[in-house]
A and B are shown apart, each in its own frame.
Chain A
């Protein structure tokens, strides 16, 4: 039994009455945009010009628009947090006195977008950098200044790191001889064993 995601507060009640006045189609558009921009750092769902247009289109003042957008975002955030099924979401929204057709509309947008959003949030971490890409090249060194005939294979492995907030990309370049690569591989195998035991 899912906990109540929403407690009734005065601001929610005010938002609900505003939402009930907005057309169905507009609500789904607002919600789809909010979902796609959810939890992406430093981004707002609508730019300033778009917000002005919305105020005109929906016939609300700027504070009211602010309240509506925030409340919709809050609904979606809570739904994501609890990984709520659409029916659970519908029931709880109806408890808040939102009109049935609006609730159905919200639930539909949630059904379509939930999987993507939750997957994105699952992989969102707090660590600074994430491994994004792996490139490599394999060389056979034939000679050097101190040795004329040499047959030493070696590889250059490049790991491209990207930080979550798109600040910077970093590239780590590693040089491996055959033995060094084998040792690295054994360490990776140990890690894999640990991962495997998690899923037993």
Chain B
């Protein structure tokens, strides 16, 4: 499906691709297009720093934004810039580095009527050295079920019990600590242990097959 973009100023017609922010300009970005012309580059850089810190996972305190307030720059407008720029950067970071090229990103910024002086700073966030950290943070914050943090195990051989004089059966006990904090202790009979091992090996093999196949079919 090709989308021919018609912009308000009619400056240019984009080729057959959707811009990085989607088919429509998000409302948060629309609202900063006018005020951004009056933004100081220093203040812009400071806001950008805060945004990058939040994308890497650090909390941004209210005071940090309050500090940037000046006579001309009220809190309202500051918050507007913060939101608009965060949305812009987040939509750019959604795409992997290989599918969104720098030139395309810059073209889209021009489309959005972001002043040229800000282009370099924005490009350095999306394509620069901080990118891997941002990516690994978004990877970690995926919604997931409980993960296995720690596995403790022991192998016992029961020699004798109260009901049986000679048992000589091995058994495995496991203590799993999960990422949600719960600790599960249970015993694994030998037959079930073999079944568990078989299933895990099978899943591993399927995963590897899947990775080999999908790389060929689903292109970036």
Binds A, one of B6-14, B74-82, B210-218: B210-218
Given A147-B94, A153-B210: A176 and B147 within 8 A (CB)?
Answer: yes
A140, B214: Cβ atoms under 8 Å?
Answer: yes
A151, B204: Cβ atoms under 8 Å?
Answer: no
Interface size counted on chain A using CB atoms at 8 A: 58
Binds B, one of A6-14, A49-57, A90-98, A167-175: A167-175
The complex places the Cα of A154 from the Cα of B184 at a distance, in Å, of 22
Instruction: Give A148's nearest chain B residue, CB to CB.
Output: B94
The complex places the Cα of A144 from the Cα of B144 at a distance, in Å, of 11
Instruction: Give B217's nearest chain A residue, CB to CB.
Output: A151
Residues of A within 8 A of B94 (CB): 146-148
From B176, B184, B199, contact of A134 by CB (8 A): B199
From B158, B196, B207, contact of A188 by CB (8 A): B196
The complex places the Cα of A83 from the Cα of B164 at a distance, in Å, of 8
A153, B166: Cβ atoms under 8 Å?
Answer: no
A39, B163: Cβ atoms under 8 Å?
Answer: yes
- What are 5 A-B interface contacts by the 8 Å CB criterion? A131-B196, A144-B138, A173-B146, A185-B204, A194-B155
Chain B positions near chain A (C-beta within 8 angstroms) = 90, 93-96, 99, 135, 138-139, 141-148, 151, 153, 155, 157-158, 161, 163-167, 169-173, 176, 178, 184-190, 192-193, 195-197, 199-201, 203-204, 206-207, 210-211, 214-215, 218, 220
